[in-house]
Amino acid sequence: MDEFNNYNAQQEEYRANHAEYRQTENNRQSCYTPGDTNKPRQDKSRGNGAGGYVLTGVLCLLLGIAIGSGVTALALSAIRNAMDGIEEAGPSIGQEIEDALDDIFDGGFDFDFHYDQNNDFQTQGDEYVEQEAMEYIKRELPEFDGAAPVITDTQNPAPDIVEQVYDGVVGINTYGEYDGRMEMDGYGSGFVVSSEGYIITNAHVIRGAEKVTVTFSDQQEADAEVVGSDFTLDIAVLKVKKSGLIPLAIGDSDSVRVGEFTIAIGNPSGSELAGTTTFGIISAKARSINVDGQQNDYIQTDAAINPGNSGGPMLSMEGKVIGITTAKNIYAGYDEYGNSISAEGLGFAIPINEAMEIACQLIENGRIIRPGMGVNVIGIDADTAEYYGIPEGILIYSVTRNGSAHKAGLKVDDIIVEYDGIATTTQDEFVDYVKGLDLGDVLHLVINRDGKTVEIDVIMADMNEMGDELVGGTSRIIE
């Protein structure tokens, strides 16, 4: 189950109540290495010490290899590798080695030693690798043949609804390969939408899975084919080969009214609590919420939503699906001491009208083409900029490996200060602007990188072909 915070609201409240802490934090940050708050900076002395011993040992070892083998090229290659290995020791040691090598080889050793204090931002293997185009299968739309439950008790329709839809709610199991064998490493919920074998769940439930199965109310488990996923709205469609499926009736989320009762069914905490039913009301019809960097409108409910409920149905009092449970907010803010305050009754569901529109495209085409960059961003307003000592703009919080942003050279903690000639505004306005671009469009960015201005052009690519692996980790400025 995805969890999220309203970042800006929490930061504003936190700053308002902790002026003294901010000063302490600024002092602490000025004394510790960026990105590692537990390790104090080391004095990079040029005096003799560990660096001298390292220098002597490296030179003796490598010169011995060169003399013994008689192959100078091999020695030079080994020296370069050794220097790469001790690069983190600091610029002073590196310079000592370089000077010594110049003396030994009479100036004939041409090697630039580079020390990057922020080298921990990038690791080996962070280079962009061109991806093969994904293959998609064309399909015909099935019949969505779910029937609404027969209500015998209009005063309390919940028992009739639960009894008649129970068999159409399923558990989603994901597996990964460990030590040569498949082991379950995740779970969620889903529901049948067609007797032809189609099942809907959240895309984040199956993300990264090497194998997906579906568990039915009779505890039978069947392998599932992933028909398609859309990570922007967080919808995935699966298909199983099984007869006798009970599809759920699809309702109309546009007709939902605030204050109506609703039922959520799913598998919180896995199969042990399969089919758990919770009851609540509709708190809002179109609550704009940012979940995992994606801004969408959700139906808000106070029906209990827990890990494992993701992908399950949210039902009207007619027993029809009006939403797909997808997230809950577990924090309501911070108290006067900076401790988080738990939130209750804040669950969110994707409106079924939007979900079915995406599901139909996934079934027919296998994908939704959504132009994007492959980044998660955070808006940096004036107060946040002052607090962290950074410029205002749009902070690159994470970069997706082999996405278009990665290919263009964007890095974590770059701050966008201008895009296509527009001075940066809010996070939502930037995201909306990017969503309005087409596949192949070029977005011109002016960014601040460690105090320097850099201009980068990013070509919009299909978000659904970028995967979810990050390059360079996540922001070291805002953690």
**Would you please indicate which residues are annotated as catalytic (active-site) residues?**
204, 234, 310
For the four alpha carbons of 9, 11, 14 and 19, in that order, the dihedral sign comes to: negative
In angstroms, rounded to a whole number, what is the distance separating the alpha carbons of residues 351 and 229? 17
In angstroms, rounded to a whole number, what is the distance separating the alpha carbons of residues 356 and 245? 19
> How far is residue 99 from each of residues 81, 108, 155, 254, measured CA to CA in Å?
17, 11, 88, 73
Helix, strand or coil, per DSSP, at residue 448: strand
Backbone angles phi, psi at 360, to 5 degrees: -65, -40
Burial of 409 (0-12, 13-18, 19+ CB in 10 A): middle
CA–centroid distance for 84 within its chain: 32
Give residues with Cβ within 8 angstroms of 101, minimum separation 6. 59, 79, 109, 111
Which of 273, 271, 325 lies closest to 300 in space, CA to CA? 325
For the four alpha carbons of 444, 7, 121 and 128, in that order, the dihedral sign comes to: negative
For the four alpha carbons of 258, 278, 344 and 1, in that order, the dihedral sign comes to: negative
